[in-house]
Homo-oligomer: A and B are copies of this chain.
Amino acid sequence: MTKNVLILPGDGIGPEITAEAVKVLNKLVETDGLDIAMEEDLVGGAAYDVHGVPLADETMQKAHDADAVLLGAVGGYKWESLDISVRPEKGLLRLRKEMELFANLRPAMLFPQLASASTLKPEIVAGLDILIVRELTGGIYFGQPRGIRTLENGERQGYNTYVYSESEVKRIAHVAFQAAMKRGKKLTSVDKANVLEVTEMWREIIDEIAPEYPEVEVNHMYVDNAAMQLVLNPKQFDVMVTGNMFGDILSDEASMLTGSIGMLASASLDKNNKGMYEPSHGSAPDIAGQNKANPLATIMSAAMMLRYTLGREDLAVKIEDAISKVLDQGLRTGDIMEDGMTQVTCSEMGDAVVAAL
């Protein structure tokens, strides 16, 4: 049965990088019997410019109807002074929330071919392979009440609410424990349980669930310490699990450690493994439209989509092998360029992956 994939290129470099992923998927349709139908629509600033909202209801409906969504990136200088309620990012947040994509999986791994691209010393990052499991539909990004009000004395006050219910913590904890079982059986839960009650509860719940996974070694770490330990000794981590905001910060930090942020994919899954897939990097408005961006993270995201949602592990591996080959050939976009390598454009990189399939 044909599976439907909604392509949401978004803003900045989004259109360029998703175009390359679509190229790769189209090739697999031609040569490997991949049975998908792709449709494109607007999200983020691109949607705002046309519809006045960062995600039209019609697009939301298409996302519900699709089997999977592949997204580029949202946001950019152009929309930074808009009211927060219609910023490009809200389109992404709405997709995550309404599709109930509570489990965000962000691998941070070092590609052996890019070992020296990291700003960290090679011995610190060689072999780095962390999976960050970030809760994606709760926490302070969605908490109510929120807003900016005027106090009696006339001054403004801004406020947001960091809130988690037990069931929200439990379901993401299970995803993380299960991921740990399939990997190194080590789970680090990150909180600020010494100061924030919501994360004190988070920690309690992790401890309550832990006995269901006796093989997994669990430890707790305060978020400030986690931010340090990632720099000091990132290889101590296997799977990390944390809330929406801490996950946002730590997963970006962890990706950057690898020196390969242009290479890192992410999956956001609901309880049935229906998902949205996007590169871990952002919309990079400074290089948008210049055919310079690295499409590999988006192509990797397409591979994750084949693996988790479309049931084609074989084709996921095929894409990953092709990327590895292309890196072995010495092809590099600007972000990962090093002496002795061949610099290519975004579309040349996509073509090279297609050729290597």
Contact = CB atoms under 8 A, between A and B. Distances in A.
Nearest to A228: B256
Contacts of A200: 84, 148, 158
A322 to B, nearest CB: 27
A224 B248 contact: yes
Nearest to A233: B119
A151 interface: yes
Interface in A147-190: 147-148, 151, 155-167
A88 B193 CA distance: 12
Contact of A166 (B124, B157, B198, B224): B157
* Assembly stoichiometry (copies): 2
Using C-beta atoms within 8 Å of the partner chain, give the interface range for chain A.
Answer: 35 or more
Contact of A228 (B84, B163, B245, B261): B261
Contact of A225 (B80, B143, B148, B282): B282
B256 A198 contact: no
Contacts of A120: 119-121, 231
B155 A165 contact: yes
A20 interface: no
A194 B89 contact: yes
B227 A87 contact: no
Interface in A107-134: 119-121, 124
A146 interface: yes
A1 interface: no
A75 B193 CA distance: 12
A104 interface: no
A296 interface: no
A201 B93 contact: no
A261 to B, nearest CB: 7
Most buried by B among A141, A201, A227, A282: A227
A350 B89 CA distance: 52
A158 B228 contact: no
A165 to B, nearest CB: 5
A257 interface: yes
5 contacts: A84-B195, A147-B197, A156-B166, A158-B198, A224-B248
Interface of A: 75, 80, 84, 87-89, 93, 119-121, 124, 140-141, 143, 146-148, 151, 155-167, 192-202, 223-225, 227-228, 230-233, 245, 248-253, 255-257, 261, 282
Given A158-B163, A228-B253, A231-B256, 10 more contacts: A120-B120, A147-B197, A148-B198, A158-B164, A160-B196, A224-B252, A227-B250, A227-B256, A230-B253, A253-B253
